Amino acid sequence: MQTDLLHNLNEEQLAAVTLPSQSALILAGAGSGKTRVLTTRIAWLIQTGQVSPAGIMAVTFTNKAAKEMLTRLSSMLPINTRGMWIGTFHGLCNRLLRTHYKDAALPQTFQILDSQDQLSLIKRMLKAANVDDEKYPAKALMYFINNAKEQGLRANRLEPNDPIERRMIELYELYEGQCQREGVVDFAELLLRSYELLARNGPLRHHYQMRFRHILVDEFQDTNDLQYNLLKLLAGHDEEGGGAIFAVGDDDQSIYAFRGANVGNMQAFEREFRVKNLIKLEQNYRSFGHILDSANYLIANNPKRLGKNLRTDAGQGEQVRVYEASSDLEEAQWIIEEAKSLMGEGVPRSEIAVLYRSNAQSRVIEHALFAAGIPYTVYGGLRYFQRAEVKHAIAYLQLMDNPHNDSAFLRVVNFPTRGIGARSIEQLQMAADSYGISLYAAVPYMTGKAGSVLGSFVKLIEGARFETQQLPLPELVRVVLERSTLLDYYQKEKEGAERIENLEQMVNAATQFVQEEGFGIAAPAHLGPPSLPQAGEAIVLDDGVEVLDGGAPLPSVMSPLSAFLTHASLEAGDAQAQAGQDAMQLMTVHSAKGLEFDAVFITGLEEGLFPHESSARELDGVDEERRLMYVAITRARRRLYMSFTQQRMLHGQTRFNMKSRFFDELPEESIKWLSPRVQTNWFAGRKSQTAWDDTEFRNGTDNRIAQQITQKSAAGNGAGWRVGETVAHAKFGEGVIVNIEGGAGAARAQINFGAAGMKVLDLSVAKLERVGR
DNA sequence: GCTTGCAGCCTTTTT
DNA sequence: GGCTGCAAGC
């Protein structure tokens, strides 16, 4: 088995896997065996004795990817992978901070806020500080804070440009204080704290630099600046004797710039680490020729690429089938017809995927599938650990582990109701504020009825904690579910059955967690898995304090409860649970990344939707949309469908979109148009247009901008102007009327002037001319 | 303290 | 169109 390690690799893959111990960049195209190269590289390094399992760190972006890597690795090598540093950025940072919590100035039981928690903490804070939430919306502040953190900036290092920003910075500072008091940490904080810990603590940094000789990074194009800097620190980039970084990525699949990912990190890495070996994996093992040609043609329209062309030995295969529907309903109907015939040809339902740009598009398709009685799964719904009832139960557990978590306190102090109203909480909040302590700690200062009711809540928590001290985690969870009366509460609810089920599922989740992480296994967990070199090596820090090396498995640094709570925040529980059911797959293009299917439908290929209208406003926005389209195309193995529609209901309005510009960027010979030449009588006065006849796109002034025409009954409105009509304005040039509002006489028109932007003009004042077409 | 109704929201997503 | 969050009313 082990000798076969390098057997089935192609030349490029082999070269990448067996590179010398230097930093390297692997440009891995879609379907080129990227994960395979990563895992084989790790196995090869270990097998050839270049490094021990403890000397490897491998970072991914999702838990799923990390799990996949671990599974494949253990099938390649007879080693116990538990305790190896393979995980997500956040997971590994958590591990580091748990081990060195004192040096990171965190309480031992610090808890992790997910985005929901973070937002509600900010809202609560803004309210308490009497901040005008019109002027400083919680979401905007959250965005501001996360953004700053992702650039490695604390409040005291930010320079305000205006009074608003000055206030934002103050609020950022206030937020940090609140988190510190509560002993909670948001996602970005996990990374920033880790970065600061290593940056400030020389011996600790040095220790990890010496330990991790090989750092492997998956999806490198998705790293943000903070992550990149953390990697630089760990690899000892500026210092002597640093380790090697093996970065794998694909600039063409960078689709997360909107959340801070910086593709530029790839070039920066190449430059800063003086990468000698840039290897391209261009052999594709997934798709047939016409599909790959389409992807290659399309992406060639992007400037600023590192450059790469996928090829296949599989032959041309079938052409890409394109369909123009008359409406979104009809588009859905067509998908079903085609899917049925695919199933008739023996394609399993789970091998048929329907992709769309935004979640809102799924509804119509779901309706149609439901009516047709075809089983389907929608990805991207509410995840297990985010469900309200589960969050409630988690909050009880959080309070037992860290009572100063105010968010958890507020969530359940009166749920199920126990007569603690808004007024009591207000008083409690005041007491807490005046002493600068948590709500929980402030309870003893309360008097009267409120005092006694709150007191009994505290007793409930303390009692549960005492009672469960010696119990294994799953038992503990069960006891808490009962003592909190959550189960009773939902038993009485009419619609509570599913919630009860979810709560009981928590006991199972705890059982599974304990098994997987090795809590409560007969052999003392702190000794680590047998095949791993002793990971709990002691490090002596500056202050003479000895700490364990962070490579120690979780059971030696955390209580089962703390660890379980961490797991709940870091791993939203992708328990889509419907596994086993053979169902068609519905998802956004974003969530399809990394997956593949025999047949793929890319739907809603319309200007304004895909590329999305908001992308026009962003720098290089359309390029990112094109990469998104590239990702979508390369999901398909054998058959690819694309569709667009003349008319679509979105946000309660009917929109008439042009077909996507991306169609113009595909190779003609790879495309097969399925729809007949449909006459599209959008509105009188406009030449009817054939769907795929490009001449109008190419010759028109710029019809691409003339999108999204909102249908309104324009008749009788504003001096006979019609929605959709092309007009000319002395200053703004040519534009298309997008909307008309107000009655006759006081009518205004919203007009898209393309380059000059969207304007609202008063029709009785503006001098407009009709442009005959 | 709970239910009801209305205004405002709406790109993509993981941790 | 449909969901969420908040305020008014019972």
A358-379, pLDDT tens digit by residue? 999 999 999 999 999 999 988 8
A31 is known to lie in a ligand binding site? yes
The gap between A423 CA and B7 C1' (Å) is: 26
The neighbouring-strand residues paired with A740 are A749
- Cα–Cα distance measured from residue A147 to residue A224, given in angstroms and rounded to the nearest whole number: 10
List bases, strand C, within 7 Å of protein CB. 1-2, 6
Condensed to tens digits (0 to 9), the pLDDT of residues A592-607 reads 999 999 999 999 999 9
Bridge pairing between strands A648-650 and A653-656: antiparallel
pLDDT, position A761: 63
A32 is known to lie in a ligand binding site? yes
Strands (E), A567-691: 584-588, 597-602, 636-645, 648-650, 653-656, 671-673
**pLDDT over 90 at A38, yes or no:** yes
The gap between A1 CA and B12 C1' (Å) is: 42
Condensed to tens digits (0 to 9), the pLDDT of residues A261-313 reads 999 999 999 999 999 989 999 999 999 999 999 999 999 999 889 888 999 99
A685 is known to lie in a ligand binding site? no
More confident residue, A384 or A458: A458
Residue closest to C1, CA→C1'? A652
φ/ψ (deg, to 5) at A398 = -60, -40
Nucleotide closest in space to A93 (CA vs C1'): B15
User: Is-cis flag, bond preceding A416, omega within 30?
Assistant: yes
Whole-angstrom Cα Rg for chain A: 29
The gap between A36 CA and B3 C1' (Å) is: 56
- End-to-end CA gap in chain A: 70
Condensed to tens digits (0 to 9), the pLDDT of residues A562-581 reads 999 999 999 876 654 455 57
pTM of model > 0.85: no
pLDDT, position A553: 63
> Average pLDDT of A506-521?
84
Nucleotide closest in space to A87 (CA vs C1'): B15
- Cα–Cα distance measured from residue A572 to residue A578, given in angstroms and rounded to the nearest whole number: 16
Would you please indicate which residues of A are annotated as catalytic (active-site) residues?
34-35, 218-219, 253, 635
A436 is known to lie in a ligand binding site? no
Residues near strand C (C-beta below 7 A) are A 123, 360, 363, 649, 651-652
The gap between A337 CA and C4 C1' (Å) is: 36
Q: What residues contact A137, with CB distance under 8 A and at least 6 apart? A: none
Band the pLDDT of A686: cuts 50, 70, 90.
very low
**pLDDT over 80 at A636, yes or no:** yes
pLDDT, position A692: 31
A29 is known to lie in a ligand binding site? yes
Long-range contacts: A541-544, Cβ < 8 Å, 24+?
A541/A103, A541/A201, A541/A203, A541/A204, A542/A201, A542/A202, A542/A203
The gap between A649 CA and B10 C1' (Å) is: 13
Cβ atoms of A656 and A607 within 8 Å: the answer is no
Nucleotide closest in space to A416 (CA vs C1'): B1
pLDDT, position A760: 60
A30 is known to lie in a ligand binding site? yes
Q: Tokens for A710?
A: 């909102």
The gap between A7 CA and B8 C1' (Å) is: 60
Report DSSP letters for A691-746, one per residue.
TT-THHHHHSS-TTTS--EE----TTSGGG--TT-EEEETTTEEEEEEEEES-TTS
List bases, strand B, within 7 Å of protein CB. 1-2, 10-15
Bridge pairing between strands A748-752 and A758-762: antiparallel
Q: Tokens for A383?
A: 């995840």
Cβ atoms of A723 and A714 within 8 Å: the answer is yes
A34 is known to lie in a ligand binding site? yes
Nucleotide closest in space to A360 (CA vs C1'): B10
- The candidate with the shortest Cα–Cα distance to A276, out of A15, A72, A89, A533, is A15
Nucleotide closest in space to A382 (CA vs C1'): B13
For chain A, percent of residues with pLDDT exceeding 90:
56
Residues near strand B (C-beta below 7 A) are A 61-64, 88-91, 114-115, 187, 256, 258-259, 357-360, 379-380, 414, 417, 419-423, 570-572, 574, 587-588, 590-591, 612, 614-615, 618, 621, 651-652
Report DSSP letters for A300-338, one per residue.
TT-SS------B-SS---SPEEEEEESSHHHHHHHHHHH
> Average pLDDT of A55-65?
93
Q: Tokens for A21?
A: 């111990």
Nucleotide closest in space to A420 (CA vs C1'): B1
pLDDT, position A746: 42
Sheet holding A277-281, edge to edge: A85-88, A56-60, A214-217, A244-249, A24-28, A277-281
The gap between A365 CA and B13 C1' (Å) is: 21
